[in-house]
Amino acid sequence: MSVFDLRAVSTAVFGSGANGRVRLTGWDAAIRGGLSTTRRVGVVSLTSGAGTSTVAYQLTRAIAARRSEPVLAVDVSSGAAGLAERLGARPVAPDETRAAARTTAEAMSGLDERDGIVALRPRDTDDAVGAWLGEAAPIARFFDVAVTDFGARHPVVDLAACAALCDVVCLVSDARRAQAEHARSVVDAVRGLPEAPSVVLALVDHAREGDGVARAFAVGADHDVMPVPFDAGLAGGGRARRSTTHLAVVRLAAAVVGATGRAA
């Protein structure tokens, strides 16, 4: 997925070539922009099957393609087909060099970089928060952007603890109204945590009903609400088959990296 490819479809999607290029340029700039500290992005859902790992994978790829430094991809989800699996990374044992890292090289001890992405999948993820604190926390500061796949988390049990580790929480939900309402109901609680993470609500159109719910939720909202089209090409870490999906992923990536409020 390249900027050239996206510009080529801007007229069809936005109805105006100039308007499309302006939006794409703005999203691209938000992803590429300088960051004063590591942007810790957590991708999480309230129920399994919402598309959390798919969104995390697509976000990671879109960000890595546009930034000069590697992106850290952390997988502490409970499922076997999480972000690390899609990136082709196997679980790794704790490493003393990483745990006491003082340089980027030490932070990457035992980890591989592929296509601008350094993947970390701890062996033990039964305690997602503990795994993140023990394995990701010591090295996250050596990366401009760290994307974590937390998988499905219960709003009473561990959602808050996972969200507290993040600067930006990408809350993924099915776009159907009942599921989307459930996700929206926890947004204020997440934003109200002492750590005050930003929240981006990503609504995946599994039912192929369009973006009506996302547009309705966005009216008057003081957080980003992003529609994500269903695309069969994304299954198992595949590539999008539709230009609208490419654009939706870039827009979502701009929102979580920029984290300056509602995206244009």
Per-residue model confidence (pLDDT) at position 4: 35
The pTM for the full model equals: 0.91
Report how far residue 53's alpha carbon sits from residue 172's, in angstroms, rounded to the nearest whole number: 10
Given pLDDT bands bounded at 50, 70 and 90, which one contains residue 148?
very high
Closest-CA residue to 132 (of 121, 145, 143, 141): 121
Report how far residue 170's alpha carbon sits from residue 173's, in angstroms, rounded to the nearest whole number: 10
The average pLDDT across 173-192 equals: 97
Per-residue model confidence (pLDDT) at position 21: 73
Residue 38: is its pLDDT beyond 50? Answer: yes
Per-residue model confidence (pLDDT) at position 19: 65
Kindly report, residue by residue over 1-10, the tens digit of the pLDDT.
333 344 444 4
Residues in contact with 132: Cβ distance below 8 Å, sequence separation at least 6, in sequence order? 74, 76, 148, 162, 165
Residue 104: is its pLDDT beyond 50? Answer: yes
Per-residue model confidence (pLDDT) at position 22: 79
Per DSSP (E only), the strands in 36-120 are 39-45, 71-75, 113-114, 117-120
**Lowest mean pLDDT: which of 100-114, 161-175, 223-237?**
223-237
Strands 39-45 and 168-174 come out as parallel
Contact by Cβ (8 Å): 114, 76: no
CA dihedral for 146, 151, 156, 157, sign (positive or negative): negative
Given pLDDT bands bounded at 50, 70 and 90, which one contains residue 13?
very low
> Which tokens belong to 65?
């393609």
Q: What is the largest CA-CA distance in the chain?
A: 54
> Which tokens belong to 152?
């499905």
Residues in contact with 1: Cβ distance below 8 Å, sequence separation at least 6, in sequence order? 61, 62, 65, 239, 240, 246, 249, 250
How far from the centroid of its chain's Cα atoms is residue 35's Cα? 17
Per-residue model confidence (pLDDT) at position 193: 98
Phi, psi of 174 (to 5 degrees): -60, 145
CB atoms within 10 A of CB 5: 10
Contact by Cβ (8 Å): 176, 205: no
